Structure 1
Amino acid sequence: MIAVLMSGGVDSFVAAHLLKKSGADVVGVHFKTGYENADASRLQEIAALAGVPLVFLDCEREFKRKIVDYFIGSYLDGETPNPCIACNRLIKFGVCADYAVSIGAEAIATGHYCSAVRVGNRTVLGRGADTGKEQSYFLAFLSQAQLSRAVFPLGNMKKSDVKKLAHDLSFPFLTQAESQDVCFIRDTGYARFIEEHAGMEFSPGHIQDTEGNIIGRHHGVHRFTIGQRRGINIPSSRPYYVAAIDTRRNLLTVGHREDLFVSEFMVRNVNWLLEPPDGSLDLLVMVRYNQTAVNARVVPVDGGRARVFFATPQFGVAPGQAAVFYDGDTVLGGGIITRDFGRACCNKQKQ
């Protein structure tokens, strides 16, 4: 049996339909987070159209503790979180997969645009065929055990073909806008969500330039992420961007665009999907979803870390985001970007 995680969107619907059409024994699983956009009746309608039974799994407590609290905590630490990566590892292929196995499923399917292929005794994660939609970046932190159960029916499809198939199948919600951002934040925006859920007061503080000169005030460092331009509100002939966030001192450092180019950085919590390398590797590295992967040298060091050296300096590398390592279209692994990096403009270390 294959358990398909169904969100109420077109991708998971088509994934379920394709598996059912292939002759597989399929059950739909919808995990409840407490932040749903789709109600139960809509989900039941979609599952019935796909021809699969649907079960509901209450994940509200786990989702709050493992995803929402992590998201808030990262911003309070001055980092930029990636809750989708955490959700895939801890909820979808963690809590949900464990439940699916308990009801007899041998595999877990999702509507991600990527591929998982068994090669020898390991499963290889690869890019999806749709270069504009592919989502392997978000799955680079799965374990081999998790990846070995994964099925991605949309890996060889274009989004346009998925929508066409859904239209032909009379999918009733095709014209509704798809979620493009964090699923548990609807209309309030990140800053307001954090203010409402963090249980603490946020104080204004100073904004300094890269030379240490105080040039303005902010209304809470939780409102900013590295590379951000909007919200700085300091008159200048050239735009300022957020260069560093110091939550301990409640201090925001801003610079001009050229000040934010990074030549190297350290990652922590490195996850190797294939065998960990003995030495350095020349790979493609993606430091934010939907950015182009660029040439870099990845040098493993002790403590589950690696140092990444760009062939060409890159703009706006943000602590807390994931750096994912590719060998062509194959995902080798990834790590979480730390504050230990070198600026290209001045070769400053450990910003």
Structure 2
Amino acid sequence: MRILAAMSGGVDSAVAAARAVDAGHEVVGVHLALSRAGGTLRAGSRGCCTIEDAMDARRAADKLGMPFYVWDFSERFRDDVIDDFVSEYRAGRTPNPCMRCNEKIKFAALLERAVELGFDAVCTGHYATLVDGPDGLELHRASDSAKDQSYVLGVLTAEQLAHTYFPLGDTPSKALVRAEAAERGLTVAQKPDSHDICFIPDGDTRGWLAERVGAEQGEILDRSGAVIGRHDGAHAFTVGQRKGLQLGVPAADGKPRFVLEVRPVSNTVVVGPKEALATAEIAGERHSWAGRAPAESAFGCDVQIRAHSDPVPARATVADGWVTVVPDEPFDGVAPGQTAVLYDGTRVLGQFTIARTVSAVPANV
């Protein structure tokens, strides 16, 4: 096959590309330049997609003897990921930019161009596996549960899966990937994993958002509607947050309070006891299936609401364009804007963006 290897400059994508070469494929490396923000142009930036990363990717490609290119996707990244991130926070939701990047950039824009250029598949260093099932190609968890990235790939469609290649999915551990990189003489063997949001390299998400959304003082309310504090901008809060609330009125029971709801229209934040974070139902209408859609409109599944959270057994219902999920045991601290990924065992069924939540605890508690 002709393979386009997406090379981030990290160890995973470098080893994935190397394995594609070893498998006898015709491989071309490409690094995506996604951001033109100043902070991403200096060595030592804490995100990914820096100039330093591009240089690391080129060195890996040279070592593997493959052609290498840098493609500028910064405008599309700005439109589909950064602007989406800002608008979601402005609407009081908590988005996952990595999920949106996979959906709109790595497996949409990149894959579209790859197919146009005659490539059969895009290779990445994601930890996930593809399985030929009775109804077509299926997306499954990686063998290393600690590194499994199937959650952030839950946005992929059947057509996109047909043009993807995940060489690392069956690798038992990240340590083995690093050891393999060292044996191959790849300089990224011990390079630390990227962290933080790549377009906010200093990690100050609150300050970054304040510059774009604006900081306007508002009220902090308890569940009864009583004013118990003030804030400098609702965008700085997310459901489940405990620190930084600066409440002027202590709770009657003396226990800490957590953010339960962000209301952007009124610029208010609602707080309450930890028990009120329990969520009995979630629903969303922006959904997709990683393969064939479920045959039944109601079905049992496991649901994961964060990249590193445990899956929760639940019952899902699809009706009138919405997916509604009722867990066997309440979720803890779910925020609108998060992504819920549905599983059948290790198989990814699909995903939806959470638009509505129902608390398991009455408001008068």
- Does the aligned pair in 1 maintain the 2:81–2:97 contact within 8 Å? yes
Cα drift, residue 347 of structure 1:
7.6
Matching of residue 205 in structure 1 with residue 205 in structure 2: no
Task: Return closer, same or farther for 1:189/1:118 CA change in 2, 3 Å cut-off.
Answer: same
- The answer to whether 1:26 aligns with 2:27 is yes
Q: 5 Å matches for 1:163-178?
A: 163-178=178-193
Deviation per CA, 1:136-177: give whole Å up to 9, x if none. Answer: 111111121111101100000121111111122232233332
Matched, 1:239 2:243: no
Superposed, 1:33-182 pairs within 5 Å as: 33-34=34-35, 35=40, 36-39=49-52, 40-120=54-134, 122-157=136-171, 158-182=173-197
Residue 230 (1) aligns with residue 247 (2): no
Distance in 2 between the 1:121 and 1:328 partners? 16
Q: Distance in 2 between matches of 1:176 and 1:108?
A: 23
When the two structures are superposed, what TM-score results if normalisation uses the length of structure 2?
0.90
Q: Partner letter of residue 261 of structure 1?
A: A
Deviation at 1:182, TM superposition (A): 1.7
1:209-224 equivalent positions in 2, closer than 5 A: 209-224=222-237
Question: Which ranges of structure 2 fall in alignment gaps of 5 or more residues?
Answer: 41-48
Deviation at 1:188, TM superposition (A): 4.3
The separation in 1 between residues aligned to 2:214 and 2:362, in whole angstroms, is 36
Contact 1:17 1:51 in 2 (8 A): no
In 1, distance between residues paired with 2:95 and 2:342?
A: 18
- For the Cα contact (< 8 Å) 1:33–1:58, is it kept in 2? yes
What is the CA-CA distance between 1:233 and the residue it aligns to?
Answer: 2.4
1:328 counterpart residue number: 345
Q: CA deviation at 1:102?
A: 2.4
Range moving further from structure 2, 76-85 or 183-192? 183-192
Letter of the 1:307 partner, please give it. Answer: T
Q: Which residue of 1 aligns with 2:8?
A: 7
SS in 2 for 1:312: coil
Aligned partner of 2:293 in structure 1 is: 275
Alpha-carbon RMSD across the aligned residues, in angstroms, is 1.6
Measured in 2, the distance between the counterparts of 1:27 and 1:121 equals: 31
Give the letter for the 1:285 counterpart.
Answer: V
Q: Give the number of aligned pairs.
A: 344
SS at match of 2:285: strand
SS of residue matched to 2:199: coil
Inter-partner Cα distance in structure 2 for 1:94 and 1:27: 18
Q: Note if contact 1:118-1:148 (Cα within 8 Å) is conserved in structure 2.
A: no
1:317 maps to 2:334: yes
SS of 2:328 mapped into structure 1: strand
- Give the match's secondary structure for 2:266: coil
Structure 2 CA distance, aligned partners of 1:174 and 1:232? 42
CA contact (8 A) 1:20 1:51 kept: no
Distance in 2 between residues matched to 1:265 and 1:6, nearest whole Å:
36
Query: 1:306 corresponds to which residue?
Result: 323
Partner of 2:308: 290
- The answer to whether the Cα contact below 8 Å between 1:8 and 1:38 also exists between their aligned partners in 2 is no
Identical-residue share of aligned pairs (%): 36
Alpha-carbon displacement from aligned partner over 1:209-237 (angstroms, at most 9, x marks no partner): 11111111111111111111121122553
TM superposition score normalised by structure 1: 0.94
Distance in 2 of aligned mates of 1:201 and 1:338: 23
